[in-house]
Structure 1
Amino acid sequence: MKEKQGHIPVLMDEVLHYLAIQPNQVYVDATLGGGGHTRAILEKEPTCKVIGFDWDVSVIESTGVQLREEFPDRFFPVWGNFSKIAHLVKKAGFSLVHGVLADFGTSQIQIGNTPGLSVYKDTFLDMRLSAAHFKTTAYDVVNTFTENKLADIFYTYGEERYGRKIAKAIVEQRVKKRIKTTFELAELVKEVVPPSKRKIHPATKVFQALRIFVNKELESIESFLKNVPQVLDNDGRLVCISFHSLE
């Protein structure tokens, strides 16, 4: 199934299989995005309901509104981070749910809508998936953190083996001129990191590390997993999609 925003939801058959959708039950799509997974759940079982979270308000205003119009009594969009799942489920008017789905990957919609995320698009180094939730931008990190702290971020969150060389180059460059855009950072990293045999952009891991750090992604996942039992029925199912070793 293809989403109307052009993003193809991953592992659709597996998601539906492991959630084991049943009549008259309530499910949570903790990462609504383009709504592909939610739509599939709603279409598979015409009596079930879905609560959809997203911390990108534009997703709630687009995908959320669209699905709400199509499934007025069965879909409930809620703006917020899935780490607060118990609060968000209650906000939607429910106490317990029978299944929870979370796709921890960053969607193409997020990459396209968020300044600073794409290494191929020249924008301000922001990287915050939600400006309402986070104050520190990637620009702040790159231009104010110490060399050691930057190196730690690149290694811990990006598994970047050249992290210390990159951090040193960043600190040397920002003395002359602050690094403001994605292209400025990407070009700087490109000068330090040898070309990858996997043909990915040399700055990919650095951008990943900054995105994870700025958005506190691992902390959010940890909080989410701790809080899920508060709302998941005893026989309920939790399905998580992850392609990243850190997750």
Structure 2
Amino acid sequence: MDAPHRPVMLREAVAGLAPERGGYFVDGTFGRGGHTTALLARLGDQDRLLALDKDPDALASSEALALRADPRLELVHGSFAQLAAFIAERGRLGQVAGVLMDLGVSSPQLDEAGRGFSFMRDGPLDMRMDTGRGITAAEWLADVSENELIRVLRDYGEERYARRIAQAIVARRSNQPLSTTAELAGLIAAAAPTREKGKHPATRSFQAIRIHINHELEELEAGLRQALEILRPGGRMAVISFHSLEDRIVKRFMRDESRNGGSTPMPWPAPDERAPRLARIGKAILPSAEETAENPRARSAVLRIAERLSA
């Protein structure tokens, strides 16, 4: 039986946004509404919350249907990489009190075999978070060059056997295309000469392919830049990441924007003359031992919080 979806570091993430100060908030990844529900519980009658998700299944879930009656909440199909456009449409640029981004794949996405995210469940090789857009993992694997596949597996999965796995995939597809998660997982397991303790040999490759198919790192970088632009002075961003590639981007962005010059070169003023635009709030927060015991999927999570400084 599938475990129920549990939002990671719920209390810490919501508290980090300081919702008691009120205002207009954004949950950039609705998922199954855990963080959204907790935020609404701490917002006043005049406060508002925009919740986004690029997965249409999330917005059609029973949790979403139950929350739609709350007049303070607006649910929208879209990615946090479109934050600035969504906020501009609502006349809220520079007025947002808090942005939450909970990255990666959700428990329902992993648990539903038909979505193709899990190497533990046999299903069509899809992996798209937004099933109405883009190409599937099967379609990409059918045409990608061997060198590009090696790059994706190495850069996004940190897979030490990227070349072996890519060669095995290219050799297999010349006879029969890969169409299911079980086929891909079995092929990877056969190609990898050794296994990491406690990890399925397909773990890193599935992560890499999913990240590439969904443009996750590019969307994260865009979302961070836009979150900074839409926040009001004193507004906060809280970002939960689940692997080192994501956390490295978040950490670097918050570090650079808390220094003179910032992270985005501009023609004027010169980069080394611009004042810091963010202040980091505390250190990186990790889930408690109690949370990881109850929810093993939380074990790799890292929460970082930063506050927008005055323009």
Q: Settle same-fold status: TM greater than 0.5.
A: yes
Instruction: Name the structure 1 match of 2:111.
Output: 112
Deviation at 1:131, TM superposition (A): 2.9
Query: Aligned partners of 1:32, 1:165: CA distance in 2, in Å?
Result: 37
Instruction: Name the structure 2 match of 1:9.
Output: 7
Note the 1:122-141 alignment, pairs <5 A: 122-134=122-134, 136-141=135-140
Instruction: Name the structure 2 match of 1:77.
Output: 75
Query: Aligned partners of 2:225, 2:159: CA distance in 1, in Å?
Result: 29
Note the 1:219-230 alignment, pairs <5 A: 219-230=218-229
SS of 1:236's equivalent? Answer: strand
Asked if the contact 2:51–2:73 (Cα under 8 Å) also holds between the matched residues in 1, the reply is yes
Instruction: Name the structure 2 match of 1:19.
Output: 17
Relative distance call for 1:161 and 1:181 in structure 2 (3 A) is same
Residue 213 in 1 paired to residue 206 in 2?
no
Query: Aligned partners of 1:88, 1:65: CA distance in 2, in Å?
Result: 21
What amino acid does structure 2 have at the position aligned with 1:86?
A: A
Residue 100 in 1 paired to residue 99 in 2?
yes
Could you report, residue by residue, the CA deviation over 1:58-95 in whole angstroms, capped at 9, with x for unpaired residues? 211223332122x2x21111110110002223445644
Deviation at 1:13, TM superposition (A): 1.9
Asked if the contact 1:147–1:171 (Cα under 8 Å) also holds between the matched residues in 2, the reply is yes
What amino acid does structure 1 have at the position aligned with 2:24?
A: V
Note the 1:1-247 alignment, pairs <5 A: 6-47=4-45, 48-62=47-61, 63-69=63-69, 71=70, 73-91=71-89, 94-95=92-93, 96-113=95-112, 115-134=115-134, 136-247=135-246
SS of 1:176's equivalent? Answer: coil
Deviation at 1:23, TM superposition (A): 4.8
Query: Aligned partners of 1:193, 1:205: CA distance in 2, in Å?
Result: 11
What amino acid does structure 2 have at the position aligned with 1:41?
A: L
Deviation at 1:190, TM superposition (A): 0.7
Query: Aligned partners of 2:225, 2:196: CA distance in 1, in Å?
Result: 38
Paired residue total: 240
Relative distance call for 1:131 and 1:31 in structure 2 (3 A) is same
SS of 1:161's equivalent? Answer: coil
SS of 1:9's equivalent? Answer: coil
Worse-matched range after superposition: 5-14 or 102-111: 5-14
Unmatched 5+ stretches in structure 2: 247-311
Query: Aligned partners of 1:231, 1:133: CA distance in 2, in Å?
Result: 26
SS of 1:234's equivalent? Answer: strand
Deviation at 1:40, TM superposition (A): 0.7
Asked if the contact 2:109–2:115 (Cα under 8 Å) also holds between the matched residues in 1, the reply is no
SS of 2:8's equivalent? Answer: coil
Deviation at 1:198, TM superposition (A): 2.8
SS of 2:234's equivalent? Answer: strand
Query: Aligned partners of 1:186, 1:7: CA distance in 2, in Å?
Result: 24
Higher RCO (C-alpha 8 Å, min separation 6): 1
Asked if the contact 1:160–1:205 (Cα under 8 Å) also holds between the matched residues in 2, the reply is yes
SS of 2:211's equivalent? Answer: helix
SS of 2:19's equivalent? Answer: coil
Query: Aligned partners of 1:65, 1:244: CA distance in 2, in Å?
Result: 31
TM-score (structure 2 length as normaliser): 0.73
Asked if the contact 2:56–2:131 (Cα under 8 Å) also holds between the matched residues in 1, the reply is no
SS of 2:245's equivalent? Answer: coil
Asked if the contact 1:194–1:202 (Cα under 8 Å) also holds between the matched residues in 2, the reply is no
Could you report, residue by residue, the CA deviation over 1:131-159 in whole angstroms, capped at 9, with x for unpaired residues? 3332x221122221111111111001100
Query: Aligned partners of 1:100, 1:238: CA distance in 2, in Å?
Result: 5
Deviation at 1:233, TM superposition (A): 0.7
